[in-house]
Amino acid sequence: MTAVGSRSAASADAFAARHDIPRAHPSWAALAADPDVDVIYIATPHSGHYPAALACLEAGKAVLCEKPFTLDRATSAELVEVARKRRVFLMEAMWTRCNPTVLRARQLVADGAIGEVTTVQADFGVAGPFPPEHRMRARALGGGALLDLGVYPVTIAHLFLGAPDHIAAWAKLSDEGIDENTGIVFGYDSGAVAALTCGMVGSTPVAAAVTGTQGRIEFAAPAFVPPGFTLHREGAEPEVVKAPMPGNGYQYEAAEVQRCLRAGELESPLVPHATTLEIMGLLDDIRVRIGVAYI
């Protein structure tokens, strides 16, 4: 890592010292202007994704931006448009889509290992509680379960079933107006269903299962970055598939960014712009249904 940038010199200096980073910049713009920086990873609170990514893209820097890409589809689309106009690489840091275990499971499903997919079940819940100023509860920071946690179950459903034809959702809202406990159902004209939950009122298994007409795949927890899965097929013994997982899983998205940059690609086929925008559109739809709006 060459440099770090933050909204203040103090926080940038502290982070650089903690992680032995050579240079610290007091702003995103200063980081983006650093001639020795080729690609920038944005890991601010959700509300900071859009302005930070925009500053970096306009400076001509490649960007890997944490999920959720921004607070809504409209601002996400703006980033994609800027990246395309300036011909700069841009990718959402949705590590689940780059995970080799997930990619292996998708290939098995595509090869017909479990027949036609009929059901996806996924959850992500944490216990909390969080203080009002915490990013998980602050509306101004895009707080709530949906954007921080729910994006993973939604992504898992999308990976195996694509965009739904029908959406239903309900949530228990906090005094701040953010979702604390949310249930989502996706319906597909094929007859398939996805049942998804996210919350910050209790730890859930963080599990996922994909069921088909001839079997199912059960992901080992945590499902958003699974170390393996069990393949159940009709008439056969369960097959445990384990993928080598050195590190914490972030290395796979970093490697994909490096591969794309070396190949001169402006977007990743694993996390294409169209998919990021489609997911953001689904999250927008769910937020309207549960009555959540950000300041």
Collect all residues with Cβ–Cβ distance below 8 Å to 275 and sequence separation of at least 6. Answer: 97, 158
Pick the catalytic residue: 67, 85, 172, 242? 67
Provide the pLDDT for residue 278: 98
Provide the pLDDT for residue 216: 98
Give the Cα-Cα-Cα angle 106, 153, 40 (nearest 5 degrees).
85
On the 0-12 / 13-18 / 19+ scale of CB atoms within 10 A, 166 is: exposed
For the chain, residues with pLDDT lower than 70 are: 245-246
Task: Evaluate if pTM is beyond 0.85.
Answer: yes
β-bridge partners, 124? 198
DSSP β-ladder status, 179-187 and 215-219: unpaired
Provide the pLDDT for residue 245: 65
CATH of domain 3-94+251-270: 3.40.50.720
Q: How far does the chain reach from its first CA to its final CA, in angstroms?
A: 34
Provide the pLDDT for residue 243: 75
CATH topology of domain 96-249+278-290: Dihydrodipicolinate Reductase; domain 2 (3.30.360)
Distance CA 125, CA 116 (A): 28
Q: Is position 61 annotated as part of the catalytic site?
A: no
- The residue whose two tokens read 């980033």 is 79
| 85 contacts 210 by C-beta, under 8 angstroms | no
- The residue whose two tokens read 């306009």 is 58
Residues of the chain with CATH 3.30.360.10: 96-249+278-290
Sequential DSSP letters for the chain: --EEE-SSHHHHHHHHHHHT-SEEESSHHHHHT-TT--EEEE-S-GGGHHHHHHHHHHTT-EEEEESSSSSSHHHHHHHHHHHHHHT--EEEE-GGGG-HHHHHHHHHHHTTTT-SEEEEEEEEE------TTSTTT-GGGT-SHIIIIIHHHHHHHHHHH-S-SEEEEEEEE-TTS-EEEEEEEEE-TTS-EEEEEEESSS-----EEEEETTEEEEEPSSTTS-SEEEEEETTS--EEEE----TTSHHHHHHHHHHHHHHT-SS-SSS-HHHHHHHHHHHHHHHHHHT----
- The residue whose two tokens read 């970096």 is 56
- The residue whose two tokens read 């970055």 is 225
Provide the pLDDT for residue 248: 82
pLDDT in tens, 13-57: 999 999 999 999 999 999 999 999 999 999 999 999 999 999 999
Residues of the chain with CATH 3.40.50.720: 3-94+251-270
Going by C-alpha positions, the residue among 155, 166, 150 that lies closest to residue 210 is 155
